[in-house]
């Protein structure tokens, strides 16, 4: 059986299982080597993310990101009803503070803004006055970035990976998904990729479906490994999203590296962005066990059909 090349010149992950002695593989040795390599990759990931988070570009991005509100579910619905392609929304003066101007004639997106109030109420029987406080709502207008012009906003969004390597690994990942009862599709049921071109895929556990956007082969390999990382992450339920995304992306990084594919150009900024409110090393260490367990689980299952040992030649 022809196996994937784990001893590529780039040395991303050369895992030596050792020669057989007539009684089978030296399982303990190659498992320890895999564990050591995963630990080394985690160190690379920590250092790479820390490097991005300490850069001036990242600091500028954080400053800009702090200007944008996290809208309530009701306001998100209002925004999407009025402007389905909205990606980044802010008020008129916020855009001005970011050196962008709303294009003349643009129609505002109406949302509800909380307005605290207080009034004095007198108890007619006792004459005692009390202050009543509450919140009412008023309609305000916001605008999507596509309705503005001016200076470009700083971004740390990872660029798409380019290259056609990983055809065999993608096949194995697709087979693994099928064995898990998952359907992998290139059809975007939710329309996420249409609304946001940077969207590469998603995992719907209830529907047992994984969407992978058509892209360069190496990008699709990383995306499918990422979504399977979500599937196999035993700590996914109840975990904050930044942790879930860090685990899935780190697992994709490890699995791809195991088969000689380098995803650092995408993985490092991706994790840095999700860990924006915390130090990269802190969030990675916090989910390290989940990353290791999920990586080992996926690598074991990817190799379950191998009938011959992978030997260094």
pLDDT in tens, the chain (313 residues): 333 333 333 443 444 443 344 444 566 677 778 878 888 888 888 888 777 777 777 667 656 666 667 778 788 888 888 988 888 898 999 889 888 999 999 999 998 888 887 888 877 777 788 887 888 888 999 999 899 999 888 776 788 999 999 999 999 999 999 999 999 999 998 887 767 777 899 999 999 999 999 999 999 999 999 999 999 999 999 899 889 999 999 999 999 998 999 998 999 888 888 876 665 567 788 888 899 999 999 999 998 755 444 433 3
Same domain, 118 and 198: no
Task: Classify residue 81: in a domain, yes or no.
Answer: no
Q: Could you give the CA distance from residue 291 to residue 299 in angstroms, rounded to a whole number?
A: 12
298, containing H or E segment: helix 288-302
Q: Are residues 268 and 172 in the same domain?
A: yes
- pLDDT score of 21: 43
For residue 226, what are the domain limits? 27-60+156-302
How many domains are contained in the chain?
2
Looking at 129, 150, 171, the residue that finishes a domain is 150
Same domain (yes/no): 44, 160: yes
Residues 194 and 249 in one domain: yes
Q: Which long-range contacts (CB under 8 A, 24 or more apart) does 199-204 make?
A: 200/160, 200/226, 201/226, 201/227, 202/227, 203/227, 203/228, 203/230, 203/231
Does 78 fall in a domain? no
Say if 4 falls within a structural domain. Answer: no
- Give the pLDDT score at 27: 61
Question: How does DSSP classify residue 55?
Answer: S
To the question of pTM greater than 0.75 for the whole model, the response is no
Per-residue model confidence (pLDDT) at position 68: 67
* Domain closes at, from 97, 126, 150: 150
Q: Cα separation of 52 and 49, whole Å? A: 5
Same domain, 179 and 266: yes
Give the strands of the sheet with 209-212, arranged side by side.
183-185, 209-212, 201-204
SS3 call for 244: helix
Pick from 287, 282, 269: nearest CA to 51? 269
Domain membership flag for residue 6? no
Domain termination residue (choose one: 150, 185, 219): 150
pLDDT at residue number 228: 98
Note whether 206 and 294 are same-domain residues: yes
Same domain, 112 and 56: no
Specify whether 35 is located in the same domain as 138: no
In the structure encoding, which two tokens stand for residue 254, read together?
């490890």
**φ, ψ for residue 71 (rounded to 5)?**
-80, 150
The answer to the question of residue 235 being in a domain is: yes
Q: Is residue 242 part of a domain?
A: yes
187 and 274 in one domain? yes
Residues 131 and 168 in one domain: no
Cβ atoms within 10 Å, residue 276: 17
């Amino acid at each position: 059986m022809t196996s994937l090349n784990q001893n590529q010149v780039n040395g991303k992950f050369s895992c030596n299982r050792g020669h057989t002695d007539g009684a089978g593989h030296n399982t303990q040795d190659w498992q320890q080597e895999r564990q050591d390599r995963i630990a080394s990759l985690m160190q690379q990931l920590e250092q790479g993310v820390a490097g991005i988070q300490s850069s001036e570009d990242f600091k500028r991005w954080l400053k800009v990101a702090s200007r944008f509100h996290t809208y309530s579910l009701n306001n998100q619905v209002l925004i999407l009803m009025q402007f389905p392609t909205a990606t980044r929304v802010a008020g008129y003066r916020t855009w001005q503070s970011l050196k962008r101007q709303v294009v003349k004639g643009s129609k505002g997106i109406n949302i509800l803004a909380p307005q605290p109030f207080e009034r004095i109420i007198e108890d007619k029987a006792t004459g005692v006055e009390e202050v009543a406080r509450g919140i009412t709502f008023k309609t305000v207008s916001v605008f999507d970035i596509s309705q503005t012009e001016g200076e470009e906003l700083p971004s740390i969004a990872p660029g798409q990976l380019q290259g056609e390597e990983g055809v065999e690994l993608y096949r194995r990942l697709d087979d693994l998904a099928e064995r898990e009862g998952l359907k992998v599709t290139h059809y975007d049921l939710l329309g996420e990729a249409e609304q946001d071109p940077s969207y590469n895929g998603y995992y719907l556990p209830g529907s047992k479906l994984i969407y992978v956007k058509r892209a360069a082969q190496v990008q699709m390999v990383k995306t499918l490994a990422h979504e399977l990382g979500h599937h196999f992450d035993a700590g996914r339920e109840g975990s904050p999203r930044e942790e879930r995304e860090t685990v899935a992306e780190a697992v994709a990084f490890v699995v791809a590296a195991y088969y000689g594919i380098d995803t650092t150009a995408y993985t490092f900024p991706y994790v840095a962005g999700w860990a924006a409110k915390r130090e990269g090393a802190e969030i990675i260490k916090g989910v390290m066990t989940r990353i290791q367990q999920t990586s080992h689980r996926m690598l074991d299952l990817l190799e379950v059909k191998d009938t011959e040992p992978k030997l260094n030649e």
